[in-house]
Structure 1
Amino acid sequence: MVNKNVISKLSDRELEKYIEPTSRSVSDAVKYAYEILLERGRTFTLSEIEQIEALIAKKKENEQVVDEGWDKGLTADVNAIELYTNTLIWMLSVIFGVFFGGALQVLNFIKIKNIKGAGITAFYSIIYVAIQLVIINYISRNYPEVSQNIFYVNFILSGIGATGLFFIRQQMFPNDLQYRAKSSIVPVIASIAISIVLFYLF
């Protein structure tokens, strides 16, 4: 849900981006930005008003939100930006490892030009994978009875790591951004191929 109070703290220049024809923000965000600019004394020509109202109407019509929870912002709008879903990132993280899910999340942040989010995700993924390998190695050497079920231990650790990625996304991803799901075919095939190579190497 878009908070008007949050948007009201933006500068006029930032608000102008919300009402541009190429704006990827949801209809409510565009509407609030337009109203705030009016309150600040910004004047619009008749053609600009018609353009903004048409933009808001079109966005409302296209905002067929598929998910408001796990994949918040996921829509069927063909004009929305393409990003990898949380579901895909979670599945790859749990099945193949946090590194794979983290890579997709980094690509998502880069796509929306959030370099800070990409950097934090990359740092977290590398550190977590290193810690996970140390834990797995320690258990294998010191607890042979547990090492027989090391797959399940690794599965649990990957699940915890995936939760960390989800938390980072929740904290740093724009609340008002809607996106459509990017195809999972390439990431899944790449993850399988890399996992097979690593299996034979190590």
Structure 2
Amino acid sequence: VGLAEDAGVAAAWLSAAGFAGAEIAYRAIENIRKGKARPVIVSSHSESLCPDTKGKLASVMYAAPSIFDFLQTTSPVTVVRLDEPLLLFGHLVCSSSIPAVELVLHSVGSTGEVLQGVIQRGHGRLEGPPLSNQEAKNGSEVSVTMVGISEDRNFKPTKKEIDVRRVAIQRGVAVNEAIWTELKRLAAQTLVPESVESKQRGAGAGLIDND
């Protein structure tokens, strides 16, 4: 699975949970395209990830898959100046298949606003008022901690959460028309018509492929 697929799955989870998943994913893509966000590197503190270029944001598209690798040996893992904390939360939910582990995400924006969420067995729950539009200027400092499951925590999905997800799956979710137009424009830029070479060697050989 590639970075785009990871982001798509996370955005779909956010949308089904009632957030603007498509818009959040679009912002993350645009941050890279416009040079606002960059891939991450390990900082001088080995448990911390930061942008590879000073003054830039850490792109969630690159940070998200790196966090699970680091959690195998280090907890908590911190990402400095992360651009889209909610997309990271969605990614962690969709990747949390380890049955005896609970993940805790804590994000503090540059204005002091806090986002905190808990993830367990493929289910995520945000605590406190969620932030779907944290400012991108200075990013957020985000820590992800892996802990043993707390038996005291009632973490079964509530009826409301189940109903919201069921309706989203059955009926789909509304996407802002302007955002949808921009996403289609970006997708069109990756459309690769078949050629002699692609028929022999390309992904989706013999087809018009968006790989």
TM-score with structure 1 setting the length: 0.25
Greater share of residues in helix: 1
Bigger relative CO (Cα 8 Å, ≥ 6 apart):
1
TM-score with structure 2 setting the length: 0.24
Greater share of residues in strand: 2
Q: Report the structure number with the largest CA radius of gyration.
A: 1
